[in-house]
Structures are given as structure tokens and as C-alpha cells.
Structure 1
Amino acid sequence: MRSESSSGHGFDPVARLNAREDVGLRRELSPHETVGARTRWTNDPCGAQPVFAGDTPAIVMASNNYLGLAGDDRVTDAAGRCAELVGAGAGASRLVTGDTPAHRALERDLARTKGTKRALTFSSGYAANVGTITALDPDVVFSDVSNHASIIDGCRLASSEVVVYDHCDPDALETAMADRANELASTDSWLVVTDSVFSMDGDVAPLSSLCDVAEQYGAWMMVDEAHATGLYADGGGIVQRDGLSDRIQIQLGTLSKALGAQGGYVAASEPVVELLANEARSFVYSTGLAPPAAAAAQTALSIARHGDRRQQLWSNVDRLRTGLTAAGYDIAGSSQILPVIVGDRQDAVALAAELAEEGIVAPAIRPPTVPEGTSRIRLAPMATHTSEDIDRCVKAFERAEVAP
């Protein structure tokens, strides 16, 4: 076997890993036995098969499986039936032979939920963002400074000028647009891009005020609902909660968080969806979303729309926030994501280790995922957590020796 030498024109992965280790940025995979509110987990076995020891499952407080649907029998049964009827994979790009009834059924329901004419599914939310921004290829993108990495990478890959505005600040956006209005041609295309719920801070973008600014300058709005889809009225996101479907030209999201499946989507007008199906490279040159994932997501969306999972989630969010606040913790955010800001990265790692000893899975979030000096424990309760689970989490924080 060829050796990995640092001499000549090769690479030195060991040195790069050691450099990350030295500054506290090396991460490891931590296999979990199941996807749910409670599971057994173990340290990274590298190339070996993981071994899960112990009989008591840990309580998972860091999952994006907000409604607990990833392991729901109705969702897994839908995936299994679709695999038997259609196949485990799409077999090709959607534009070749990978377009199936499972895709079309899901897209129809997504469009109805999001209040648009059409929807288009991608292999991931990341692919949806990168593909949409590069296909639109706007002359200028105005992007929130805290937007997700997939939005940032989409901006990097497009040939656009990128203007980053202050987090959730419509006034900063207006100032940036006013500056560019004096410099650019009136025919230039402008796109404002923002998350609706920010995954690390748990706060919510002021979408209505951002729409006001975008409309003042004739710009389009693109909103990533990855952490909001399925959690609000009729299974929608913040766009639906705030009644803004007719003011936002492009809505994106993921099928892998509250809907517990896999993939991403774009909901928009008929011409936009047709354009993306023809020019979004992450759609055109990727095998279509696996049909079982599409069927699972469609069933999960129906449960989110018509069941009581949303109410269960928000009840758990309120219970956890109230308990931690009473314990003396300052909890940021205004959504289902509850960040406990620690500050120092080593302190955050130590706190996460203490929580793990108490049977709570809530890893530390460190730079570069969050800015330096803002390391945190990101808590995300699920609809399927019991009151006892929530109270056990609060008790673990109360007993922790490392505290913000």
C-alpha cells in the first residue's frame, strides 16, 4: 500500500489533524444505536464496528429530529412500502429515469404546505441551497452574516457579488442596498438570502421587515426554512406562521430535520422550479432523491400537519427553558433550539462531558461552527421526550460543576 508521505507534492493529513488537536478543533464521530429521543452511544471505533455497552439508554438532547418522526412506525412503514414498490434508490438523475411517483407526491404536498405553485426535491438541503443560488446567479446576493454554510458555499460558487449584512438587522440590509443602488445598474438582479430559524442561536429572522426592505429595492427574497419546516401551522415554517408566502419568491428547506427523512426541497413558482430543474447542477447531475426517503417525508409532513406532535414539542421546549432558567442558566433563542452559551471552548467540552456522565447527549458546539468565544451546548428537545426526560436534563445541568 502506498504510504502517505509529506515529502514531494503529497499531503500530510496527520500534521493537519494534530494542528486541529492543538487548538481544540478536532472532532470525532460518535455512533448512536438508534435515531430517537433515547439511545445507546459509543466513542468512535474508527474502521471497526461500534459496540454499544450498558443497558440504560442516554437521552438525546442535540438532535434535529424535532418531532421524533425519524423512528415513527408510520414513517418507516411508508419508506419500506415505497422501497418494495419503487426501489431503494432512484437509479438515475430525475431528468433521465429517476423521476418517480414518490417524488411527485411529496412535491405536491410540499407546494401545498408552502403556498406555492411547485416544489422540487434535492438530495439534501445543502444541495438545494448551493444549486438554487448558483442557478439563479444573481448579480448581488445580500446574505445574513449567520447564514448556514450551505448558503455561504452557494454564494461562493456563484459569480455574484456577495454583501454580508448584520445578523437579523433590516436596517443594516437597507443601508447595504442603498449603497449598492448608487453603484449598480438598475437591471441588476438582487437576492436577499436568510435562514428563518438560525440553527446555532435559535433565533428567528424578522422576515416581514426584511421583505419590506427587499420590496423597496425590487429584490427577491429567498428563505431557508431548514429548522422550521413542519413545526408551525399546517406543517409550515416561519414563512407560513407570519403569513408571508406571497412575499417570498423562494422557500427552501430540508426533509431531514423535523420530517425525519432525508433530502431538501425548493418551493417556488412554476418558472423558478422549471429553471432549477434545468440549471441547478446539484439537481441535474445528482441521482434523484431515494424514493423511500420521499415517501417517508411525505408521511411525516402529513403527521406534522394533522397530528399533535407540534404541540408536544412546544410543551417540551417550554418545560426545558423554564427549568434551566430557574436553575440560573441564561438560555438564548426564541425557537425550539435552546443554546446554553458557555464561551470558552474547553469549558464547553468539559460541560458536555459532565452531561454525558449524567446520561445526556448534548455535545459542545465550538468554532468554526460558532464564533470564537461563544462555544455552547445546543439543546434541542424532541416531541417524543417525556416530562421525566426533560427534568432529568435540567437536573444534570444543576449538578454540573462547569457552568457559564
Structure 2
Amino acid sequence: MTHGFDLERRLDQREDRDLRRHLEVAESVAPQTRFADDPKGGAPAFGDEMLVFASNNYLGLADDARVQRAAELGARTVGTGAGASRLVIGDTRVHRALERDLATCKGAERALVFSSGYAANVGTIDALAPDVVFSDELNHASIIDGCRIGASETVVYDHCDADDLRAEMERRAAGADESEQWLVVTDSVFSMDGDVAPLSAVCDAAREFGAWVMVDEAHATGLFGAGGGIVQREGLSDRVDVQLGTLSKALASQGGYVAGDEALVEYLLNAARSFVFSTGLSPPSAAAAREALRIARETDRADDLWDTVATLRDGLETMGYEVFGETHILPVVVGDRGDAIELADRLRDHGVVAPAIRPPTVPEGASRLRVAPMATHTADDIAQCLDAFRATGREVGVL
């Protein structure tokens, strides 16, 4: 008899379902880089340089000299690490400056920075401890885990369907105690479909029942609404009670944030366990995120991204590919799992990295390649990507 864990068997099961993943070392974080198989302690052996259309570094700021200088200054003036929880001695002027800028950008009274966007979601939902969470069916895993940990009950409504949300709330209201606390949670931009939540309609439905609205702007911060996100683009700052996001995508750093009124932030810094019991975000990360936010707000970097997105979408659709969404995330739908994996593999042979996304991450029959361009991709980069999709699509038989 054994009470241990047969992890090799679990790995074999993942392999059988085409779900086993492997680490791959990137030489740099840039539109073009070289990759190596997991060296497992040895020196990586990098191959030829490849074009990366798989990064969440949407504005291409991760290797921007201005952001790098800001990170270096943060390290030199404050330190490489916060040294402790923010509530102990880890609260620095760099954190406060970033939080002030985030609050201004989000049209909020105050902001609070967490060690990751995942920690922000889990910690916030757990701290609020809602009786019921109404959650979009395609919300990110961090929201799902936050609901599992912190919500007494979770009701999932149809994706981007405010009418179904309202119907679910009506059903719940029929037998609910008036003292129940309800939270409606949705991403603003969905990372696998590239679509946008109908936030105004979601807010309308929530208001009918006196529920709070929480919006995760992970894939929107820095790209819409003068850098704020979809909430700012739609003019909803005063209708969304809890605004979240990450610093690790368009802002090219690490960490997450929550923005809202003074009472919300003051409560979270006392009650969100993922904040209270975590070492503060490193000062270089905070300083880098602040500079990236400034660039996003004060320059036309996002316009460069949108030009690239338009060219790619038009080129892919003209070839005959179906491209979902309406944002900078371009899901190229293939359908069959095997075809998607083969297409991604053949693209790499042409020097282009665009990952295959297959079930259970997406529904059966909806396997796709997730194309994520950066503002720093050149015209030649875009042309090479489109040429690769044309050639490989014919090779695989999906065009």
C-alpha cells in the first residue's frame, strides 16, 4: 500500500491528451529572438532567430531602453527587493508613485499594487467574500480560482451575454436574502477570443440588483482609453467598483493592481491575504511599470500596435483564415486539434512562433493559433508572418 503521488502516471496522462508542455529558453524578450530546449541545468543551445507573435508584451516595451533605465534606477535608489511585506517595511516611494499614476489613469481615488495579477484577483475576491459571484464563462483562471477560494457560490453566465447575466440574477433574486452581497466579475478583453465584454450592459444589469462590478483589464491596460483600459474607453470609471489589471503585459514588468475608492483599497491592504502575506513588488518592477505606463499614455506607441493589428487581420482574412475578436489578440481558428498543432510546428520551420491553443483551453472543434503582435514588429516582420501563414496553411491543408 502506498499513499504517495504517482506523478509519472499523471504526466503520461497529459501526454496522451496532448496537454503536456515543455519549457523553452528564450534568449531575449523582443519581437525577434532565439530559443533553446530546456537545458535542465546545462547551458542552452540557441538555434536560429525567430519572429515572436506569441508575446503579451504588446507595446514592445520589455526591452525598451527607457523602461530598462527606470528599472535600474529603482534598483540603485531603493533596492532590488522590497525586503518585506508592504505592511512591514516593504512600502517604498516607488510603489506609492506607481499607485498614484495608476489611480489617475484609472479615474480612481486610489490604487494598490500586488505581486502579480493572479494574486490581485484571488486576494480581492477572497477579501470581499461575496455570497454570490456572477462570472463570465470565459473568465481567466485567476478569477475562477478566486471564486473557488472566496465566494460562497459562483453562478456562471454565458460569455459576453448581459441578458443571460440579468436572467441569472433574476433567478437568484427570487429566493435570495436581501442581505446577500453580490459581485459580477468579467475580463474586459478575453485572452483567447480577443473579444470585449459589453461592460456598459453588464453595469446596467448589476445596478438593477445592487451588485458590485469587478473588471479585470489584464489585456487592456495601457492599450485603450489613454492607457487605462476598456473601462476608461467606455467612460465607466464611476460605474465599475473594482478595477484590476496586470503590469506584466503591455506595461512590460511584473505585478498586478487594484484601483477603486479609498475604502476599497484601505480594506484590501488589510484583508487581502495575497497582499498582506507577500513581499512587496520589487522596486525595479514597480519603477519599470511606472515608466511603461507613462510611455503608453504620452506617446503614440499604441497606434503602432493598432496599425500592425489591422495589417495582420486583413492579410490573414484575405487568405481565407477565420480570425476571431476585435482587438490586438488575433485568434486564427483552425478547428481540428491536430491541424492546429501541425500548423504551429510548421510556422516555426518558417521562423515564426505562434502557439496552438486546443481543448480544454478552448472548446472542441475550435482549436486555433493565438497571434499576438507587438508595436515593435516591422513591416518586414509582418510580411514574413503572413507569408509563413500562407505557405503553412497550404502545406497543412487548411487553406
Query: Would you say same fold, with TM above 0.5?
Result: yes
> Which letter maps to 1:65?
N
Which residue number in structure 2 is paired with residue 261 of structure 1?
253
Tell me how many residue pairs correspond in the alignment.
396
Q: How does 1:5-404 map to 2 (within 5 A)?
A: 8-54=2-48, 57-400=49-392, 401-404=395-398
SS in 2 for 1:142: strand
Give how far 1:47 is off: 3.4
Residue 370 of structure 1, CA deviation? 2.0
**Cα offset for 1:177?**
0.4
Give the deviation of 1:79 after TM superposition: 0.3
Identity across the alignment (%):
64
Counterpart-to-counterpart distance in 1, 2:40 and 2:134:
41
Checking the alignment, whether the CA contact within 8 Å between 1:317 and 1:381 is kept in structure 2 is: yes
Question: CA shift at 1:42, angstroms?
Answer: 1.9
Is the CA contact (8 Å cut-off) linking 2:200 and 2:236 kept in structure 1?
yes
Distance 2:142 2:354 in 1: 23
Contact 1:339/1:377, CA 8 A, preserved across alignment: yes
- Alpha carbons 1:351, 1:403 under 8 Å: kept: no
2-side partners of 1:47 and 1:142: how far apart? Answer: 45
Deviation, 1:403, is: 4.9
SS at match of 2:24: coil
Q: Work out whether residues 342 and 403 of structure 1, in 8 Å CA contact, stay in contact via their aligned partners in 2.
A: no
8 Å contact from structure 1 (residues 61, 362) kept in 2: yes
- SS of 2:193's partner is coil
Tell me the alpha carbon deviations over residues 211-269 of structure 1, each in whole angstroms, 9 at most, x when there is no partner: 11001111110000000000013211000111100110010000000000000000010
- Measured in 2, the distance between the counterparts of 1:29 and 1:346 equals 21
Structure 2: runs of 5 or more not aligned: none
Alpha-carbon separation, structure 2, partners of 1:169 and 1:224: 17
1:2-37 Cα distance to aligned partner (Å, 9 max, x none): xxxxx6111111111111111111111111100011
| Aligned mates of 1:29, 1:152 — CA distance in 2 | 25
Q: TM-score, structure 1 length as denominator?
A: 0.96
TM-score computed with the length of structure 2 as normaliser: 0.98
Letter in 2 for 1:17: L
**Aligned-pair CA distance for 1:193:** 0.1
Q: Is contact 2:125-2:151 (8 Å) kept?
A: no
Q: Which runs of 5+ in 1 are unaligned?
A: 1-6
Mapped partners of 2:319, 2:103: distance in 1: 43
Q: Measure, in 1, the Cα distance between the counterparts of 2:260 and 2:63.
A: 30
Which AA in structure 1 matches 2:274? S
In the alignment, what sits opposite 1:3?
A: none
Partner AA of 1:326 in structure 2: T
Match of 2:286, SS state, is helix
Q: Secondary structure at the match of 2:73?
A: helix
Q: Residue 323 of structure 1 contacts residue 394 of structure 1 at CA under 8 Å; is this kept in 2?
A: yes
User: Which amino acid in the other structure matches residue 299 of structure 1?
Assistant: E
Q: Distance in 2 between matches of 1:74 and 1:370?
A: 37
Q: 1:37 to 1:253 in 2, by over 3 A?
A: same
Q: Distance in 2 between matches of 1:155 and 1:48?
A: 40
Deviation at 1:45, TM superposition (A): 2.5
Q: CA RMSD in A?
A: 1.0
- CA distance in structure 2 between the partners assigned to 1:77 and 1:91 by the alignment: 21
Contact 1:24 1:345 in 2 (8 A): no
2-structure distance, mates of 1:40, 1:12? 35
